[in-house]
A and B are shown apart, each in its own frame.
Chain A
Amino acid sequence: QQPVQSPQAVILREGEDAVINCSSSKALYSVHWYRQKHGEAPIFLMILLKGGEQKGHDKISASFNEKKQQSSLYLTASQLSYSGTYFCGGSWGKLQFGAGTQVVVTP
């Protein structure tokens, strides 16, 4: 029942783009996205509540396709500060997280 994330890891050079996908086998009421730096707590990035919704946080944006039960996180013109592990969370009243996608941005 845990959301499935792909890819497991991605390595980028500064300025490159990446997409992280999150899918669920059951209907999602909402999707959360978090970023976690090594040894730190996860930090909330954004929440998507409606089907087809898109949101942005700096140059990080996301979409949520309610019909397909899928969400994607877009890292545009990546910066070194984007490095970390990204988690999607599927909400069915309480949040269940995917296994995470490790993002490494190199100079």
Chain B
Amino acid sequence: NAGVTQTPKFQVLKTGQSMTLQCAQDMNHNSMYWYRQDPGMGLRLIYYSASEGTTDKGEVPNGYNVSRLNKREFSLRLESAAPSQTSVYFCASSGPPGQRYGYTFGSGTRLTVV
């Protein structure tokens, strides 16, 4: 099925550990995004990539790094996890801006940092 695939679905980390969240899309979209979702705060943009080879900071980039490995894949890395990074992380992709395309979201990664 076409869409956005995220791995892992669940993860528990200890404070200070590192991990990489993986995201891949098979819709030939240029743009990809990483959001985090916390109760009562909606979805906040961490990083985005408008095209292969480019990345930019969003609203809450501190503590994260990203890699746009190729057109399909966009990974999010936590170098030293903190309890404040406990959240649900969503990857999304979209078609060309200005067109009538919405974002397609992955199923999310539920991360707990203890």
Q: Is the CB of B45 within 8 A of A96?
A: yes
Q: Is the CB of B103 within 8 A of A95?
A: yes
Q: Is the CB of A99 within 8 A of B41?
A: yes
Q: Does A40 contact B (CB under 8 A)?
A: yes
A40-66 at interface with B (beta carbon < 8 Å): 40-47, 49
Nearest chain B residue, comparing its CB with the CB of A88: B42
| Residues of B with C-beta under 8 A to A41 | 90, 105-108
| Residues of A with C-beta under 8 A to B43 | 42, 87, 97
In the assembly, what is the distance between CA of A45 and CA of B105, in Å?
Answer: 13
Chain B window 33-55, contacts with chain A (Cβ cutoff 8 Å), 1 for yes, 0 for no: 10100001111110010100000
B contacts with A: majority SS: loop
Most buried by A among B40, B102, B106, B108: B102
In the assembly, what is the distance between CA of A96 and CA of B58, in Å?
Answer: 9
| Residues of B with C-beta under 8 A to A95 | 33, 45, 103
Q: Does A94 contact B (CB under 8 A)?
A: yes
Size of the A side of the interface (Cβ < 8 Å), in residues, is 25
Size of the B side of the interface (Cβ < 8 Å), in residues, is 25
Q: Is the CB of B42 within 8 A of A97?
A: yes
Q: Is the CB of A99 within 8 A of B42?
A: yes
Choose among B41, B48, B102, B105 the residue that contacts A94 (Cβ–Cβ < 8 A). B48
Q: Is the CB of B40 within 8 A of A94?
A: no
In the assembly, what is the distance between CA of A43 and CA of B90, in Å?
Answer: 12
| Residues of A with C-beta under 8 A to B44 | 97
| Residues of B with C-beta under 8 A to A98 | 42
Q: Given contacts A42-B90, A49-B98, A49-B100, are A100 and B42 in contact (CB under 8 A)?
A: yes
Q: Does B67 contact A (CB under 8 A)?
A: no
What is B's interface to A at a CB cutoff of 8 Å?
A: 31, 33, 35, 40-45, 48, 50, 58-59, 90, 97-98, 100-108
What is A's interface to B at a CB cutoff of 8 Å?
A: 2, 29-30, 32, 34, 40-47, 49, 87, 89, 91, 93-100
Q: List 12 A-B contacts (CB under 8 A).
A: A32-B102, A32-B103, A41-B90, A41-B105, A42-B90, A44-B103, A47-B101, A47-B102, A91-B97, A94-B45, A95-B33, A100-B42
